[in-house]
Amino acid sequence: MTFHDIRISYLNETQNTDFEVVVFTKNFNINSPEAYYVAWQVLRGQTQVEFVYPVSMDVGATYTSSGQFISAGPFPSKLGSTWEITQDSISSPATLKEVTAPTNPNGSIVIKNIPPATWSGNMFDIGVYKYGSLLVVQKDVHVGNQVDFMLKPKLYFGVVRNMVQGDVFTSLEITSSLTEFNLTNYPNGLKVTLKQLPGGMEYVFLGEAMS
């Protein structure tokens, strides 16, 4: 795991700007019922941009009530923590709070949807946020179920079209030139350069350690 913020620099050397670059990660818990990917950062044709993959993170939940989109959180969190989300009645707001529990194995963040006593309860979309944006999400967590987020310091870069920050997708087939970068190999920062291969039909992401 990384224990400090990692600087990331992106440079587009292709001369083309008619696409986006999506930066995302995933929940590495292999027991997740379905894989969801979130467009954590979308680089829209920029020649050069810098951002940070921070150590700090938040957790939050969203749901709909009477046609309204409502959020509980996000709240500051840490690896290994356990959270519970409760909603006492259909008309009361949901509450997300950290509970005292042993540190979860592998640093997993566990969030439980606690069954209410007087009604059937809600489904929630539960997520982890970094740098002010949704990083990973599990959608439609049912009453009595929980989500276990296992994060690793890995980021994926891919070329996409018509994507905006916060979009959720379930298939990696919408990306091309998909490349994984393990941030533990870049303690002083990561410089990612997008180049065009000879022939002009394919792109490649190259990673370089910052000094």
Per-residue pLDDT in tens (0 to 9) along the chain, 211 residues:
567 999 999 999 998 889 999 999 999 997 877 889 999 999 987 789 999 999 999 999 999 887 889 999 999 999 999 999 999 998 899 999 999 999 998 899 999 999 999 999 999 999 999 999 999 999 999 999 999 999 999 999 999 999 999 999 999 999 999 999 999 999 999 999 999 998 877 999 999 999 8
Residues 166 and 139 in one domain: no
C-alpha neighbours within 13 Å on the C-beta side of residue 103? 7
C-alpha neighbours within 13 Å on the C-beta side of residue 90? 6
End position of a domain, from candidates 129, 149, 169: 149
Single pTM value for the model = 0.94
How, if at all, do strands 6-12 and 190-196 pair? parallel
Give pLDDT, residue 139: 95
Residues 32 and 85 in one domain: no
Radius of gyration (C-alpha) of the chain in whole angstroms: 19
Give pLDDT, residue 1: 58
Count of structural domains, the chain: 2
End position of a domain, from candidates 149, 168, 196: 149
Residues 86 and 125 in one domain: yes
Residues 116 and 34 in one domain: no
Residues 62 and 144 in one domain: yes
